[in-house]
Amino acid sequence: MKDKTILLTGGTGSFGQMFTTLILEKDIKALRIYSRGEFAQYEMQQQFTDPRLRFFIGDVRDKSRLSRAMTDCDIVVHAAALKQVPTCEYNPIEAIKTNIDGSVNVIDSAIDNGVEKVMAISSDKAVSPINLYGATKMVMEKLFVHANSYAGNNDTKFSCVRYGNVMGSRGSLIPLLLKQKQLGKVTITDERMTRFWVALNDVTQFAIDCIDMMKGGEVFVPKLRCSSVADMVDSIAPECEREIIGIRPGEKLHECLITQEEARHTREFETYYIVEPELSFWNKSEGKEVPDDFCYTSAPSRSD
């Protein structure tokens, strides 16, 4: 990262603010925050006063503005997205314009500006998706993996980081439970439901590490802990009354980070997996092959 100029889309979100905190500890040249929200940027400017920080109002849907913001950038981290499942279900065209068309704009602008590395932030919802948000993230991953072929003689490299639920992020379970705890009653969709969990600082540092490691085309998946939603309630609000409200549209009972089909081109490392691209240019990385029937899921094993 030394002397690098970095552009971060969606930079005022939970991931963006933690990324800013961690990356400013490094000897970078500049960090450009690219997002739509004027007030969110104003608040972030009050929090961070580092002179290496720049703020750009813009939308990933706007290719010309995005390309201008990316001028002379070395690294791009693409975290901008519509990510609330109900919002994407109710506004599907808007989700496609931001999450898919916006990703295409990031790819094209990065290639046109000669950016060295581009890392996209994905989700476990992209794996065997059953909701529109997950489907847009699946398409985004495909776009970024195959963007390495579009780059041609340009040296721009594209990769993705895929992870589970971030504890404490905006709109997630833990803030909801803490709010409901004050009322003495919490709502649970299904006590059998399980999820992968990761701390925001851990997954952000993982993404930074992956930028250093990436060759182009990988999907990096950290090894995460998982638990049931009921266990989370037991930890946060054990004394509260529980109301079972049922699984909402677009939700899964269990999540998956690597499918059995992906196992054929997945390598295991000590703290993470790499889903390798099925592209002709790719040389297999170091790491251990996983079994053909491997599936990285939050569901309890049969032995449990």
The answer to whether 126 and 134 have CB atoms below 8 angstroms apart is: yes
Residue 288 near residue 268 (C-beta atoms within 8 A): yes
**In-domain check, residue 240:** no
Supply the pLDDT for residue 304. 43
Q: Is the dihedral of CA 112, 73, 45, 17 positive or negative?
A: positive
pLDDT at 52 over 90: yes
| Residue 97 within a domain | yes
Q: What is the pLDDT of residue 168?
A: 67
Q: 80-84, 165-169, 238-242 — which one is most confidently predicted on average?
A: 80-84
pLDDT at 303: 41
Q: Is residue 82 part of a domain?
A: yes
Structural domain includes residue 185 = no
- The CATH number of the domain holding residue 70 is 3.40.50.720
Any domain includes 229:
no
- Does this model's pTM top 0.85? yes
Answer yes or no: are the C-beta atoms of 296 and 290 closer than 8 Å: no
How far is 76 from 63, CA to CA, in rounded Å? 15
Q: What was the pLDDT predicted at 158?
A: 97
User: What is the reported pLDDT for 171?
Assistant: 61
Asked whether residue 126 is domain-assigned, the answer is: yes
pLDDT at position 242 is 85
Question: Per-residue pLDDT averaged across 261-285, rounded?
Answer: 89
Beta-strand ranges (E) seen in 202-252 are 219-222, 225-228, 241-244
Question: Mean pLDDT over all residues of the chain?
Answer: 91
Indicate whether 256 pLDDT > 80. yes
Structural domain count of the chain: 1
Q: What mean pLDDT comes out for the span 223-246?
A: 86
Poorest-confidence range of 87-91, 166-170, 223-227? 166-170
For residue 272, what pLDDT is reported?
97
Residue 207 lies in a domain: yes
Residue 68 has pLDDT above 70, yes or no: yes
Catalytic residues: 125
Indicate whether 90 pLDDT > 60: yes
In-domain check, residue 270: yes
- pLDDT, residue 55, reads 97
Element (H, E) at 10: none
Q: pLDDT higher for 1 or 303?
A: 1
Mean pLDDT for the stretch of residues 249-274:
93
Per-residue DSSP letters for 163-199?
--EEET-TTSHHHHHHHHHTTTEEEES-TT-EEEEEE
For 161-206, write each residue's pLDDT tens digit: 999 888 866 666 777 888 888 888 888 888 888 999 899 999 999 9
**Could you tell me the residue range of the domain that residue 52 belongs to?**
5-165+198-223+257-292
- Provide the percentage of residues in the chain whose pLDDT is more than 90: 70
Q: Return the SS3 of 73.
A: coil
Higher confidence at residue 117 or residue 292?
117
